[in-house]
Every structure is written in structure tokens, then in C-alpha cells.
Amino acid sequence: MSNFDSDALVFLGATGDLAYKQIFPALQGLIRDEGFNLPIIGVAKSGWTLDQLKARAKDSLEKHGGLDQQAFEKLVGLLRYVDGDYNDPETFVQVGRELGQAQRPLYYLAIPPSLFAPVAENLAKLCCPGNARVVVEKPFGRDLKSAQKLGRTLHQYFPEENIFRIDHYLGKEPVQNILYMRFANPNFEPIFNRDHVRSIQITMAEDFGVQDRGKFYDEVGALLDVVQNHMLQVVANLTIDPPTGEDHDAVRDRKAELMRAVRPLTPDSVVRGQYQGYRSVAGVAPGSNVETFVAVRLEIDSWRWAGVPIYIRAGKMLSVTCTEATVEFKRPPRETFGELAPGSSAHMRFRLSPDLVIALGVRVKIPGERMVGHDVELELHRQAAHDLPPYQRLLGDASRGNTELFSRQDLAEAQWRVVEPILGNVTPLYSYQPGTWGPEESAQLMGRDGHWIDPVVQSLNQ
């Protein structure tokens, strides 16, 4: 099923962390599973040779997902390397030489965001006159203004349908399953609205720190690293109106509409935290006020969702590694059985990582004479981590020109509008101990709406 209509892949940042952890494994997967057969031109400024890049690819595959000898040999056969500075036009002239007759290359910008605009410009002007596509890593801009500016720069050289703003959460099987469950069944959609839903909460917990990404992370923090993008995309999947039509824009239209209705955050709807020890991570400024934990309360000003609070918390160095969304339904309008402590309300739970779980929480009667019950959870579906790694899915889609699972300029801007008022570390920063659920202050954010649901991680065998 090799239906890639790009005719070369240029990936900038070839010696970097993302290439090492994600892109080489994705390329091996595309070659092995999908007959990917395009010239692959790595570009970086590291003073490396092609052989060093091949050795790096081998090491990457051995550490991330496993090396498949046959596919690896094909990969190194396709691989070329251009070593050069991104500010030097000669680098792009060389890339152009490597591209030869290619008319539709795919440029993958796995480079620091500050370089997106100049590099896109150099690629478009100096490399290939054809109909190129460009994949841009997150964050797309630093705020609304810079995202708009970046959009304008990219649009000068690439039409919107050739721009792929990547958010790897969209390539995740469990994230897609939220949409699928909602719209492939008749029973959930009628209750996903303010009449039935009391609140929604999403926890993205990681039990590790910022590792060797101190410099990158200290420029973004949890809000821009995962909330402005991954978490808002999950919110969108949980709350959009049913899409109509089947083209690439059907879902993106609904998402853009939804995101425009999300009320911009205010300082009192945010709690930020920083784990103890963060400031001594290499690359982090000694007095850094950047958050490694953030909790927010969102509201959607739409007919469907008005008044339903949506809570998101995301953090590093928490108790477990797990991402989970829970939709809590309202209590019945009347306590028919007069129970004094009628338990929790019904809920629907979507576990997005480390495995996929979809579960329904309901109340059932305890056997006996009295009409008294307890809470049980029905697990509708459980499946091990996604088969297709998100980067493989997304790189394959981009090479085929399928924009469906990528963000769009209007959507990216709407996401920035949500976080814009709280950018720049304007709210207090609370310290928390590694291995906890973040600063205690995050509990207060919920007020009378309830409490955070801490995901419990069990292995699939339990």
C-alpha cells in the first residue's frame, strides 16, 4: 500500500532528540509496514558525516522500538546527509542538490521553533521549485501574535493544504477512539451536553522529570508543552459537535468552531507548580519560574456546554504515568431510593495512555432486601498501547497529503487565544514534591465541583 505522493523527505534536526526518539523509529515502521521508499535527506549542524548519522539511526532503533534488520538496511540505503548552518543559504543549495528532480518533497522541521520561519523561507526559495509540503513541530508560535506571524510567513511559500502542524496526540489511537466512540454509537452523543454532564476532567500525569530537555522545557513549561496543544485537542474530541461531510476538514471545522467558544483562561482559573529539584536540571535557569505542573478550569461558551466546568491538570514528576479523561454525569433529578450517601454520579472514562481503556461507571443494587447500591465500573474496552506509533501514522499521512490529523491555522490561533491571558508566568508558582499529585493548591481549583480523580495504573495482566 505504498501510495505516498511525496517524492523525497527532508528532515531538519536529523541529529536531534526528536529524530532519535521518534523519527527514525517512524521511518523504519513506514519502510517495513507501508513500503515507504523515498530518498530521506537528514539535515543538521553537527559536523557529522553520513556514516555517523547511520550509526545514530541504528542506535535510535535499538533503544526505541527495536531494530528490524531488513527495514533498517533499506532505511540506510535511502538516507543522505547535509551538514550545515540553518542561516547559511549554501546549506539549502546543497539540500536542493540532493533533491535532484524531486517535485514534491516533504520538509519536516524538527528544529527549535525560532528557526521555523527563516528555514521555511530558505527551503522554499533555495531548494525545490515544486509543490513542497512542510511539517512543523509544536509549539506553533509562542503566543497568538507570533503564531499569526508564522502562519503568514508559511502561507507566503506554502498553501494551507501543504502545511502540516503536527500534534502527535492526534496520531494516537486512544485519542481517535474518543471521537469514534462518540459518533459511531447512537447512545453517547445525546448525553454529551450540559443537560447530562456535570463536569469533565483530564489528567496527564508523568512520573518522570524533564530529563535532558531542560533547555527546551524551561522556555515552554507545562502549559505550552502539553496543555495548549495535546490537552486542548483531547477537550475538542470530547466536546465537538458531530462532524458533517467526510473531507479532511470535516472534523477540523468542528474543532475550530469549538475552540473559538472556549473562554480564554484567567489567572484565577489556573494553578501552577514546579517540582522540587527542577531548577538544578541542566539547561534550566537557576531561578526559573517555569511550571512543571499546571491545572486549569475551562469553560465553553456554547449552547451545548455552557456551565459545564472542564478541568485539566498536567505535570511532570507526579505519582504515575497515565493520561485519562473522565466525563462525570449529573445525579438523577431525584434520589428515588432515598440513599443517604448515593455514591458518585455515573461517568465515562477514557484512558489514553499507557494503554487504552473505555469504561462506564454506574450504580448497581447490592443484593438484599434494601434498595441500596454501590458504584461499579464496566470496562467496555481495553487494549494494549497503540500498534501504530503516532509519528509513523502522521509522517505517513503527511507524505500522502492527508491533513486530517494535523492542526490548521485557525485552530492553532484559537488554541493560543485560550491560553494567551495567562502566558508569561503571571500566576503564583507553588512548589511540590516529586512523586505526589502536584501542589495542594490544585485541589482548591475544583471548589464545590468535586475532586481530582487520580488514575490508578494497573498492568493489562491484572
**Nearer of residues 122 and 323 to ligand BG6, judged by Cβ:** 323
Residue nearest to ligand BG6 (CB): 225
Residue among 274 and 353 whose Cβ is closer to ligand BG6: 353
Give the residue carrying C-alpha cell 500500500. Answer: 1
**Residue 210: half-sphere exposure toward Cβ, Cα within 13 Å:** 27
- Of 123 and 210, the one with the shorter C-beta distance to ligand BG6 is 210
**CA 431 – CA 438 distance, rounded (Å):** 8
CA 452 to chain centre: 21
Which of 106, 226, 232, 453 touches ligand BG6 by CB under 6 A? 226
Strands 8-12 and 105-109: parallel
Q: Quick one: which of 10, 66, 6 has its CA closest to 34?
A: 6
Nearer to ligand BG6, 60 or 353 (CB): 353
- Cell output for 355: 494503554
C-alpha cell at 36: 515507504
Nearer Cβ to ligand BG6, position 309 or 389?
389
26 scored as a contact of ligand BG6 (CB under 6 A) = no
User: Is-catalytic flag, 196?
Assistant: no
Residue 23 CB, shortest distance to ligand BG6, in Å, is: 14
Site mask for ligand BG6 (CB under 6 A), range 228-247, x = bound: --------------------
The catalytic position among 168, 230, 347, 386 is 230
The residue among 196, 195, 249, 206 whose CA lies nearest residue 230 is: 206
CA distance 145 to 152: 11
Binding map of ligand BG6 across residues 191-210, x = CB under 6 A, - = no contact: ---------------x----
Using CB under 6 A, pick the residue from 6, 353, 427, 442 that binds ligand BG6: 353
Q: Total number of residues binding ligand BG6 (CB under 6 A)?
A: 4
Give dist(CA 390, CA 394) in Å, integer: 6
**CB 168 → ligand BG6: shortest distance, Å?**
6
Residue length of the chain: 462
Residue pointed to by grid coordinates 473522565: 326
The rounded radius of gyration (Å) of the Cα atoms in the chain is 23
CB burial of residue 460 (10 Å; 0-12, 13-18, 19+): exposed
Residue number, 39 or 283, with CB nearest to ligand BG6: 283
Cβ at position 304, least distance to ligand BG6 in Å: 28
Cα torsion 111, 249, 307, 364: sign: negative
Question: Smaller CB distance to ligand BG6: residue 91 or 353?
Answer: 353
Say which residue the cell 512542510 belongs to: 134
Nearest approach, Cβ of residue 102 and ligand BG6 (Å)? 30
Q: Smallest gap, in angstroms, from Cβ of residue 398 to ligand BG6?
A: 17
Q: How far apart are CB 143 and ligand BG6 at their closest, in Å?
A: 18
Q: Residues 314, 231: contact at Cβ < 8 Å?
A: yes
Closest approach, Cβ 425 to ligand BG6, in A, equals 18
Q: How far apart are CA 320 and CA 339, in angstroms?
A: 34
Indicate which residues carry an active-site annotation. Answer: 230
Q: Which residues are near ligand BG6 by CB under 6 A?
A: 206, 225-226, 353
